[in-house]
């Protein structure tokens, strides 16, 4: 076979026909549908790039919550026009004026040396959050302090303290008849004459969970791995058929805090009056003193927060450094801490409970019993 016949042949099927199309050209793409509400940006320039303004218009915002949707996907699956139900402008963020700054500062902006000091004055705090009490959407008066500590109050007089550094929360009801504490070492819930306790080791060295209940008959106690419930009363320690119902997933702190609170009952008029009548003072070594809603709230230079009511019916303390927490009312006294002296202690009248992470001991009417580090029952 000659060279002229071999040219343009593929497997002997004959000469290859010449194409009239430009094989180097870009493939043709069918343009997508467009709407005036959110035009698409499927077409680019000669280099295949599109500008940023057309990319923004590929997103439309639907409904009262301004849900973002892709306009091309919406046009392909829905029969509703985006011109009637969507907007192309992103929703505006809530105005800062919705959070009232009660104690504005006219001082100079904070410097780097001021931010590193143990005390941040009001001028430096305004760059992070409002200084002084503010009103939340649910009618709660909130005071944000240093070291991730917040104090919430209601018009009725209940108070809640949250220590964000150590996951500690304490709440006392307005009549001080109910108290709750969530701590890494356990949960304490007091309602009237009854106190429910759940204790766990915050260091996770001992995996046991112990429960106790202080009530009119004495103190009932058990462990998660124990099938029996014991009662410590004036006669000693013995088994009982009583039940201990402690929900480890329940939010007892908010239950106590919102107990007796009627939402929107005051139309926020009383809240604004409390905020306007509040005051603060700057003390030595970076301490702060607030007077809000009948509560005296102080924070020392080391971050320790102390809260007391003017009638001395309740007292709360917590520290962001060592994770200690204390709450005292006419019905209960409870302390907890982390670190080398990690413990949980509860006292109501003559009934007491002490937990150090390993041993769990209750005392009542001159008798003591509990569980040791191996989760075995011990009668002392």
CA-wise closest residue to 230 among 248, 207, 213, 251: 213
Average pLDDT over residues 318-329: 93
**Helix or strand (DSSP H, E) at 183:** strand 178-183
Least confident of 29-33, 298-302, 356-360: 29-33
* 3-class secondary structure, 145: strand
Q: How confident is the model at residue 13 (pLDDT cuts 50, 70, 90)?
A: low
Least confident of 74-83, 105-114, 319-328: 105-114
**Helix or strand (DSSP H, E) at 277:** helix 269-277
Cβ proximity of 173 and 152 under 8 Å? no
Report CA-CA distances (Å) from 212 to 224, 225, 375.
11, 14, 14
| pLDDT for position 22 | 62
Higher pLDDT, 156 or 104: 156
Least confident of 125-129, 190-194, 215-219, 280-284: 125-129
* pLDDT surpassing 60 at residue 14: no
CA gap 170, 292 in Å, rounded: 18
* 3-class secondary structure, 53: helix
Share of the chain above pLDDT 90, in %: 44
Q: How confident is the model at residue 119 (pLDDT cuts 50, 70, 90)?
A: very low
CA gap 319, 161 in Å, rounded: 11
Higher pLDDT, 116 or 44: 44
Share of the chain above pLDDT 70, in %: 69
| pLDDT for position 118 | 27
Summarize pLDDT for 42-67 with one digit per residue, the tens: 444 444 444 444 444 578 776 554 56
Average pLDDT over residues 8-36: 54
Residue showing tokens 């002997």: 12
**For residue 364, what are the contacts with CB-CB under 8 A and spacing of at least 6?**
218, 219, 232, 233, 234, 350, 351, 352
| pLDDT for position 195 | 96
DSSP 113-138: HHHHSS---HHHHTTTS-SSEEE-TT
CA gap 232, 367 in Å, rounded: 7
* pLDDT surpassing 60 at residue 154: yes
Least confident of 259-273, 283-297, 333-347: 259-273
Report CA-CA distances (Å) from 245 to 210, 222, 224, 238, 372.
12, 11, 12, 19, 22
- Mean pLDDT of all residues belonging to the chain: 77
Summarize pLDDT for 161-202 with one digit per residue, the tens: 999 999 999 999 999 999 999 999 999 999 999 999 999 998
| pLDDT for position 116 | 30
Summarize pLDDT for 241-251 with one digit per residue, the tens: 888 888 888 89
Average pLDDT over residues 62-82: 69
Tokens of 186: 């356990």
CA angle 312, 271, 292 (to 5 degrees): 35
Summarize pLDDT for 254-285 with one digit per residue, the tens: 999 998 877 656 668 888 899 999 988 888 87
Higher pLDDT, 34 or 115: 34
């Amino acid at each position: 076979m000659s060279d002229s016949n071999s040219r343009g042949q593929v497997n002997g099927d004959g000469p290859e026909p010449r194409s009239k199309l430009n094989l180097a050209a870009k493939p043709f793409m069918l343009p997508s549908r467009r709407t005036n509400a959110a035009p698409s940006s499927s077409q680019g320039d000669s280099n295949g790039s599109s500008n940023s303004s057309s990319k923004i218009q590929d997103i439309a915002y639907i409904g009262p919550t301004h849900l973002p949707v892709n306009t091309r996907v919406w046009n392909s699956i829905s029969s509703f026009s985006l011109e009637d139900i969507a907007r192309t402008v992103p929703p505006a963020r809530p105005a800062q004026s919705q959070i009232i700054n009660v104690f504005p500062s006219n001082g100079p902006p904070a410097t780097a040396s001021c931010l590193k000091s143990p005390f941040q004055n009001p001028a430096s705090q305004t760059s992070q959050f409002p200084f002084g009490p503010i009103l939340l959407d649910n009618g709660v008066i909130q005071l944000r302090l240093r070291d991730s500590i917040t104090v919430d109050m209601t018009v009725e007089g209940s108070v809640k303290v949250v220590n964000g550094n150590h996951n500690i929360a304490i709440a006392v009801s307005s009549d001080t008849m109910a108290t709750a504490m969530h701590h890494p070492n356990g949960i304490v819930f007091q309602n009237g004459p009854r106190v429910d306790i759940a204790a766990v080791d915050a260091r996770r060295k001992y995996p046991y969970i112990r429960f106790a209940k202080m009530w009119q008959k004495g103190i009932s106690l058990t462990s998660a791995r124990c099938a029996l419930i014991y009662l410590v009363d004036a006669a000693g320690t013995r088994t009982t058929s009583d039940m201990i119902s402690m929900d480890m997933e329940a939010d007892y702190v908010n239950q106590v805090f919102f107990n007796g609170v009627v939402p929107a009952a005051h139309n926020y008029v009383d809240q604004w009056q409390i905020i306007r009548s509040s005051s603060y003072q700057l003390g030595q070594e970076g301490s702060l003193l607030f007077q809000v809603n009948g509560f005296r709230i102080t924070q020392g230079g080391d971050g320790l927060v102390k809260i007391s009511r003017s009638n001395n019916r309740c007292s709360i303390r917590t520290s962001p450094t060592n994770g200690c927490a204390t709450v005292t009312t006419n019905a209960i006294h409870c302390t907890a801490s982390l670190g080398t002296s990690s413990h949980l202690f509860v006292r109501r009248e003559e009934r007491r409970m002490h937990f150090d992470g390993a041993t769990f001991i209750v005392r009542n009417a001159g008798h003591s019993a509990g569980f040791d580090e191996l989760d075995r029952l011990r009668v002392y």
